[in-house]
Chain A
Amino acid sequence: MKVTFKIWRQENAKSNGGFQSYEVDGLTDDMSFLEALDHLNEILVGQNQKTIAYEYDCREGICGQCGVFINGRAHGPLDNITTCQLHMRSFTDGQTIVVEPWRAKAFPVIKDLVVDRSALDNIMEQGGYISAKTGTAPEANAILVGKDVADKAMDAAACIGCGACVASCKNASAALFTAAKINHMNSLPQGKQEAHRRVLEMSRQMELEGFGSCTFTGACEVECPEGISITNIAEMNARRAMAKWHNL
C-alpha cells in the first residue's frame, strides 16, 4: 500500500509552520496509522532528516495522549476512536492523507503535530477532585450508590482527556471535557459537598483558558473516543444555573 502524507511541520512554538508531502510505500492494511508514521520516520532517519514529532503513549486508546487531525477530522475518518486505534485499512491505496495538529487557541503548537493541552489540566485543578485526605475514608459500603447512578457517573468519567472535542468544535469549546468531569463527580454522593463550588470554578477556569463557548453543534460527541454524550453539556449548564442560584 502506498499513500501520500501531507503533514504539518513546524519547528517550534515561535516559528511558522507549513505542509510537507511525503510519499510512503510499503504500508500494509493492518498497520495502525501511527505505525505508518513510525515507518515514515524511519525513512526520514535513513535520509538524515529530522523526524516528525507526534504524540502517543499507550497505543490502545486509553491514555489520551495521541490525537491529530486527519483529512479534516479529529482522530481520522471513523467515529469515536483515538488516532492510535485507526488502521491503514481505513484508507485506500494512493490516497493523500492530510495530517494537522489540533487547532485551538488554547492548544498552542509545540512542534509539528504536538500541541500543549495543559489548559485541560488547569481546568481539572480548579475543583476536578473530591477534597478528602488519604486516611479519612469511611467504610466503602457505607456510601451506597445505585447502579444507574454509578453507571451514569462512569459514562462521564470515561473521558480520556485527548482534546478531540475541542479540536472538532468550530468554537474550540472545552464544554464536553469540563461537563464530563463535573457530572461524574457531582452525580455521586461523595461529590455532593463541593458540587456548587466545583461547577462554578471549573467552568470559570474553562473560560479563562481561552476556550470558546458551546453552541450545541454536536461535533464533539461524534469524535469523542468514549462517545460521551452532548447531553452532559446541558446537564452542566443546569448544574451551573443551580449553583449560581444557590450562591445568590
Chain B
Amino acid sequence: MVLYAKIPNGPLENKWRNYQITSQLINPANKKKLNVIVVGSGLAGAGAAATLAELGYDVKCFCYQDSARRAHSVAAQGGINAAKNYQHDGDSVWRMFYDTLKGGDFRSREANVYRLAELSAPLIDHYVQQGVPFAREYGGVLVNRSFGGVHVQRTFYARGQTGQQLLLAAYSQLYKMKRAKKVQMFPRHEMLDLVVIEGKAKGIVVRDLTTGELKRFAADAVVLATGGYSRVFRLSTLAIGCNGSAIWKAHKRGAFFAAPSFTQIHPTALPQTSEAQSKLTLMSESLRNDGRIWVPKKKDDDRNANAIPEEERDYYLERRYPSFGNLAPRDIASRAAKERIDAGYGVGRLKNAVYLDFKHAIERFGIEIIKDRYGNLFKMYKKITGVDAYEEPMQISPAAHFSMGGLWVDYELMTTIPGLYAIGECNFSDHGANRLGANSLLQASIDGYFVLPNTINNYLANALKEDHPTTEHPEFEKVEKEVAAQINKLLFIKGDKTVDHFHRELGKVMWQECTMSRNKEGLEKAISQIQKIKDAFWKEVNVTGGHHEMNTELEKALRLADFIELGLLMCTDALEREESCGAHFREEHQTSDGEALRHDEKYSYVSAWEYHNGNFKLHKETLEFANVQPTVRSYK
C-alpha cells in the first residue's frame, strides 16, 4: 500500500487556501442528517465537537472522566505559541514553521507544519474572544514569553494554568452546544473498540463506566481525540487514566500507527522518590526562562545546594549549548541531564535529579516579579516537596511526557481507515521527532477547531449518498461480543498479581530501553521481556469485582493489556530506525561530541506500521523537503 498524504498543490503558503477552495461543501440542511462521534473531550475533542455542532452536524462526544472539563489538556502549564509577532522581535509564520520543523529534527511534513504556524495567530484571536484570561500588560495588550528551541517570544499564557484556561474555554463551548441540543455528552464512557463496516469507520463500542454496560454507537464518521500514550512507561507526567486503548484498537482494526517510538522526555519534572509513586509531576518549561540548571562539579557532593559556591557549579546546558543555554529544546535538555546523572553528578536523595535555580533571577528582577511569573508553580512545588524554591533550588528530573507518534494521518487528519480521523496528540502529524514547548496546546486546538471541521466535509459529502449505519448491523454484534469476551477472559484469570504489578514491570523495561538513549541490544532485550510480561499478565493477573458495575481495576487491566502490545510496537519501531533524530537517540549513531546523528539519505521517512495478526509491517511515507534544506540541528 502506498501512503498518500493528500498534500495540496501550490506553494507552501497557498496550500491550505487551495485545499479549502477545492474541498467539497455540504449544505446546512444536509449537515444535520450526518452523525459524528468524537472520542475525547480535551482541546482537540471538545474544540472539534463544539465546532462541528456549530456547523450543524449531529455530534456525540465521549470521555472516560466524570466531566469533559477533566481532560488532560487541563494540566498543560506554560503556554501556547502563535506567530503574532507582537513583541516585534522578528517572528513570522515562516520562522515559526522553520523552528517547529527544525525542532522536530526534520521528521515531519512541511505542509502540515506550515499550516500549524499559519493558523496559530487566528487561534489566539479565537481564545481571547472565548474569554481566556491571558496575561496582559498594564496597557491591556497581550504578554509573551519564550520557550525552548526558539529565539523569539511567541508564547501566550495564563499564569501557569494555560492548559486549564484553554480547556475550560473549549469545554464551555461544548456545553453551549449541548444546551443547543446539537451535542450529546457521554462522560464516564470509555471506547473499547472501533466498528469498521465495508472498510469504513462506522461506529464504536463503549463501556459505561458507572454500570459496566456495553453500548453501541453508530455514526457517519468517527473522530479520535484521545491524547497521548506515555503512561506506557507507567511513571509519566500524564493523568493516571490517560491511555492508548482507543488508538490501539483502531490500529488493530487497520489504522496505521506512525512513529510510535517518538516519545518526548520532559526535562523538568519532579524526580521519583519511591517505588509506590504513581505520577511524576511536571514543572513547566517556562521556568527555564529565568531558572538556571546546574549540578555540582564534584561527584557525590552531599552539601546543601546553597552551600556550593558558584565556581563549583556546572551549568552544563550553558556550557554545552551557549547559544540557547537553559532554553535548549526538550530532547537535548533531557539527554544532557541524563548524561550528568548517569555520570554520577545527580543530586537529591536518589541522586536522580539536577538543580533548577532561581537565585540569579531573584537577584536581578526581585522576588515580586518572579512570584508574578511563576507563583503558582512555586506553590505547587512546595505542596508536593515541602521545599520553598525561593530559598533553595528546585530538584528536577526527566520524565516521560508527550507522544509525537500516533495514528498515521494524511493532510486531512484522516487515518488509513476511511471515515476515521485522529486529532491532537493521538495522531503523529506535526511534531516530527521532537515537539517544541507550547506547541502541544496549539496543535490540539488547531486540529480540533480549524482543520478537522474543514476537512471532514470532503468525506461526509459522499457519506450523504450512502445509507446511515445502524447498530443492528452484524459487525456491531461481532465487535461487542469480542469486547465482552476480552473482559470475561480478564475477570476469569484469577491469578495472584495485581494490574499495577505488571504495569510497574512494563514501565521499568520501557523506561530502561526505550527513552532518552536506545541501542540495538537493549531494544531486542526489551522486546523479549515485554513478550514475557504479556504472557505472564494473561496468566497471572487478578482482576477483582465484576463486569456489570463500576470497576476501576477492570478499567486499568483493559488499558494495560493494550499498553503491553503498544510497548512491543514502540521498541520495534525504535529498533528499525538506525539513526538518531530528535527524541530518538540511538547510541550507535552519534557524533564525536555525543550529539544526534541523522541519516537523511536512508531514514527521511515517516514509519507507518500496519498490524497483521500480532506482527507489525512497516510502510514508509517519504518526506520531501521542497522549501527548506534539512540541516544538522545545532543549538550550540
Q: Do B278 and A60 touch (CB < 8 A)?
A: no
Q: Mark B375-418, 1 if CB is under 8 A from A, else 0.
A: 00000100110100000000000000000000000000000000
Instruction: Contacts A136-B129, A144-B139 given; indicate if A38 touches B84 (C-beta within 8 A).
Output: no
CA of A12 to CA of B551, assembled, Å:
11
CA of A77 to CA of B138, assembled, Å:
39
Q: Mark A34-54, 1 if CB is under 8 A from B, else 0.
A: 110011011011101111010
CA of A58 to CA of B227, assembled, Å:
13
Q: Do A30 and B449 touch (CB < 8 A)?
A: no
Instruction: Contacts A124-B172, A129-B172 given; indicate if A111 touches B550 (C-beta within 8 A).
Output: yes
Q: Is B158 an interface residue (CB 8 A)?
A: yes
Near A by CB (< 8 A), chain B positions 526-577 give 542-545, 549-553
CA of A61 to CA of B382, assembled, Å:
13
Q: Mark B240-256, 1 if CB is under 8 A from A, else 0.
A: 11000000000000000
CA of A65 to CA of B63, assembled, Å:
13
Q: Mark B464-490, 1 if CB is under 8 A from A, else 0.
A: 000000000000000000000000000
Segment at the B interface, from A145-153, A214-222, A234-242: A145-153
Instruction: Contacts A141-B142, A184-B133 given; indicate if A49 touches B239 (C-beta within 8 A).
Output: no
Q: Is B368 an interface residue (CB 8 A)?
A: no
With a CB–CB cut-off of 8 A, which chain B residues contact A50?
A: 544-545, 551
Q: Is B50 an interface residue (CB 8 A)?
A: yes
Residue of B nearest to A131 (CB): B176
CA of A139 to CA of B123, assembled, Å:
10
Our pick among B129, B163, B274, B553 for the contact of A132 (Cβ within 8 Å) is B129
Segment at the A interface, from B68-76, B145-153, B620-628: B68-76
Q: Is A248 an interface residue (CB 8 A)?
A: no
Q: How far is the CB of B424 from chain A (nearest CB, A)?
A: 16
CA of A63 to CA of B41, assembled, Å:
13
Q: Do A129 and B175 touch (CB < 8 A)?
A: yes
Near B by CB (< 8 A), chain A positions 24-80 give 28, 30-32, 34-35, 38-39, 41-42, 44-46, 48-51, 53, 55-65
Q: Do B278 and A34 touch (CB < 8 A)?
A: yes
Q: Do B383 and A111 touch (CB < 8 A)?
A: no
Count chain B CB atoms within 10 A of each CB in A44, A121, A149 and give the residue with the most: A121
Q: Is B126 an interface residue (CB 8 A)?
A: yes
Q: Do B74 and A58 touch (CB < 8 A)?
A: yes
Q: Number of contacting residues on B, CB 8 A?
A: 83
Residue of B nearest to A59 (CB): B279
CA of A105 to CA of B440, assembled, Å:
39
Near A by CB (< 8 A), chain B positions 405-450 give 449-450
Our pick among A28, A56, A61, A128 for the contact of B276 (Cβ within 8 Å) is A28
Our pick among A34, A53, A124 for the contact of B550 (Cβ within 8 Å) is A53
Our pick among A44, A126, A132 for the contact of B130 (Cβ within 8 Å) is A132
Instruction: Contacts A45-B498, A130-B172 given; indicate if A62 touches B161 (C-beta within 8 A).
Output: yes
With a CB–CB cut-off of 8 A, which chain A residues contact B210?
A: 110
Q: Is B496 an interface residue (CB 8 A)?
A: yes
Q: Is A89 an interface residue (CB 8 A)?
A: yes
Instruction: Contacts A59-B240, A134-B51, A140-B124 given; indicate if A161 touches B278 (C-beta within 8 A).
Output: no
Q: Do A133 and B131 touch (CB < 8 A)?
A: no
CA of A160 to CA of B136, assembled, Å:
22
With a CB–CB cut-off of 8 A, which chain A residues contact B125?
A: 137-140
Q: How far is the CB of B294 from chain A (nearest CB, A)?
A: 24
Q: Is A210 an interface residue (CB 8 A)?
A: no
Q: Is B134 an interface residue (CB 8 A)?
A: yes
Q: Do A147 and B239 touch (CB < 8 A)?
A: no
Instruction: Contacts A45-B498, A62-B75, A188-B131 given; indicate if A141 touches B239 (C-beta within 8 A).
Output: no
Q: Do A134 and B449 touch (CB < 8 A)?
A: yes
Q: Is A157 an interface residue (CB 8 A)?
A: yes
Our pick among B86, B126, B187 for the contact of A118 (Cβ within 8 Å) is B187
Q: Is A116 an interface residue (CB 8 A)?
A: yes
Q: Do B172 and A42 touch (CB < 8 A)?
A: no
CA of A55 to CA of B450, assembled, Å:
33
Q: Is B67 an interface residue (CB 8 A)?
A: yes
With a CB–CB cut-off of 8 A, which chain A residues contact B496?
A: 46
Q: Is B140 an interface residue (CB 8 A)?
A: yes
Instruction: Contacts A126-B179, A130-B131 given; indicate if A146 touches B65 (C-beta within 8 A).
Output: no
Q: Do A81 and B383 touch (CB < 8 A)?
A: yes
CA of A63 to CA of B100, assembled, Å:
29
With a CB–CB cut-off of 8 A, which chain B residues contact A46?
A: 496, 498, 542
Q: How far is the CB of A43 from chain B (nearest CB, A)?
A: 9
Residue of A nearest to B543 (CB): A45
11 A-B pairs (CB sep. < 8 Å):
A28-B274, A48-B544, A55-B66, A57-B241, A59-B279, A61-B383, A64-B69, A129-B172, A134-B51, A141-B142, A154-B165
Question: With A12-B550, A140-B125 given, can you name 8 additional A-B contacts, CB distance below 8 Å?
Answer: A35-B276, A38-B278, A63-B70, A125-B179, A129-B173, A140-B84, A153-B133, A190-B130
Binding site for A on B (CB under 8 A): 47, 50-51, 54, 65-70, 72, 74-75, 84, 86, 122, 124-126, 128-131, 133-142, 158-159, 161, 163-165, 168, 171-173, 175-176, 178-179, 185, 187, 210, 239-241, 273-274, 276-279, 281-282, 380, 383-384, 386, 449-450, 453, 494, 496, 498-501, 542-545, 549-553
